[in-house]
């Protein structure tokens, strides 16, 4: 075995080996060696990491650097994954497309670049397959707000394939003719009603890993507060006054009736002694009142 050391000049040369046995020499077929002054030094990949949603895609590009800067044509790239959570487009070019499967998880990407027999590797390139944003909801689902009053709204998200990762952004839209928001970004916002009666809707759009999902519009109704509390108090007071008046009147009537009853109570008068039948009535006696007709005096004795 021999080691070949290239010189400073580029080009091709042939190597031979002669074998001699019993004064008989045989020469091998030539082995051609290409000597290049522009040798492959490094291979890099862009991007250096990726977050991909379920079923999403991500492109990667490999670049080769040689001793003299730009490499000559002919560099061959070989791509590989450490897991079956996704797949790569076929080919040996400097670009490749990764397609995520339907299971969340982590894996790595590697690439080898080969030029003139020299191989360099790049990697690992971390890839995270994240759950995909699927639903955005807002609580409360509706709101009735009186003039200058406030209502807080909060957004919640759901993802397919697992728990939603961090990094979700929120942007709110609202009926500016009915009030104001303390902010238009963030998971929670506070709406302050103005002094205009009307209805409108508030909506939030959440974005995660490049996918945007909007909530169902939440109905907002702004109304003018009524004086029901003061009128209610006045009504209660009026009822109480009426009750008091009725009670007083009833007491007065009862007292008057008691007094009138005492005044009209008849005095007891003992009955007059009746004279025997046919006898003249005693002196001063009044004749009995007629019953059913004129008074008939008794017959003379």
For the chain, give the percent of residues with pLDDT over 70.
81
Instruction: Give the C-alpha distances (Å, rounded to integers) separating 139 from 148, 156, 174, 288.
Output: 20, 8, 15, 99
Q: Are the C-beta atoms of 155 and 187 separated by less than 8 Å?
A: yes
Model confidence over 146-190: pLDDT tens digits? 999 999 999 999 999 889 989 999 999 999 999 999 999 999 999
Where residue 210 falls among pLDDT bands split at 50, 70, 90? confident
Closest by Cα among 153, 143, 212, 203 to 173: 203
Q: Is the pLDDT of residue 294 over 60?
A: no
* Higher pLDDT among residues 115 and 11, named by residue: 115
Q: Tell me, what's the pLDDT at 131? A: 92
The domains located in the chain, with CATH, are 40-130 (2.60.40.10), 132-223 (2.60.40.10)
Q: Is the pLDDT of residue 196 over 90?
A: yes
Q: Tell me, what's the pLDDT at 277? A: 60
* Higher pLDDT among residues 226 and 120, named by residue: 120
Model confidence over 98-116: pLDDT tens digits? 999 999 999 999 999 999 8
Model confidence over 232-288: pLDDT tens digits? 566 788 888 999 999 999 888 888 888 877 666 565 556 655 556 666 666 665 666
Q: Is the pTM of this model over 0.85?
A: no
- Judged by average pLDDT, the poorest of 21-25, 26-30, 129-133, 296-300 is 296-300
């Amino acid at each position: 075995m021999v080691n070949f050391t290239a010189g400073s000049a580029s080009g091709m040369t042939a190597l031979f080996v002669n074998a001699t046995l019993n004064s008989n020499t045989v020469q091998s077929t030539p082995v051609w060696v290409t000597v290049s002054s522009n040798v492959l030094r490094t291979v890099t990949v862009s991007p250096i990491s990726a977050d991909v949603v379920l079923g999403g895609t991500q492109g990667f590009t490999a670049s080769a650097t040689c001793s003299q800067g730009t490499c000559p044509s002919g560099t061959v790239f070989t791509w590989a994954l450490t897991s079956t959570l996704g797949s790569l487009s076929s080919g040996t070019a400097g670009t490749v497309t990764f397609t995520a499967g339907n299971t969340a998880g982590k894996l790595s990407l590697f690439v080898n670049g080969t030029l003139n027999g020299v191989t360099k590797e790049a990697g690992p390139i971390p890839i995270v397959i994240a759950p995909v944003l699927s639903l955005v909801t807002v609580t409360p689902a509706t709101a009735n707000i009186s003039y200058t009053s406030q209502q807080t709204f909060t957004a919640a998200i759901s993802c397919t394939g697992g728990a939603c990762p961090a990094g979700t952004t929120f942007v709110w839209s609202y009926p500016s003719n009915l009030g104001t928001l303390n902010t238009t970004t963030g998971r929670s916002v506070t709406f302050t009603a103005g002094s205009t009666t009307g209805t409108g809707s508030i909506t939030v759009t959440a974005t995660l890993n490049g996918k945007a999902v909007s909530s169902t519009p939440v109905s907002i109704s702004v109304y003018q507060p009524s004086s029901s509390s003061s009128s209610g108090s006045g009504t209660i007071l009026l009822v109480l006054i009426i009750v008091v008046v009725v009670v007083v009147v009833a007491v007065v009537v009862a007292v008057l009736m008691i007094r009138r009853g005492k005044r009209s109570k008849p005095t007891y008068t003992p009955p007059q002694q009746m004279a025997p039948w046919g006898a003249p009535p005693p002196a001063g006696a009044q004749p009995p009142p007629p019953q059913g007709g004129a008074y008939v005096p008794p017959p003379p004795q």
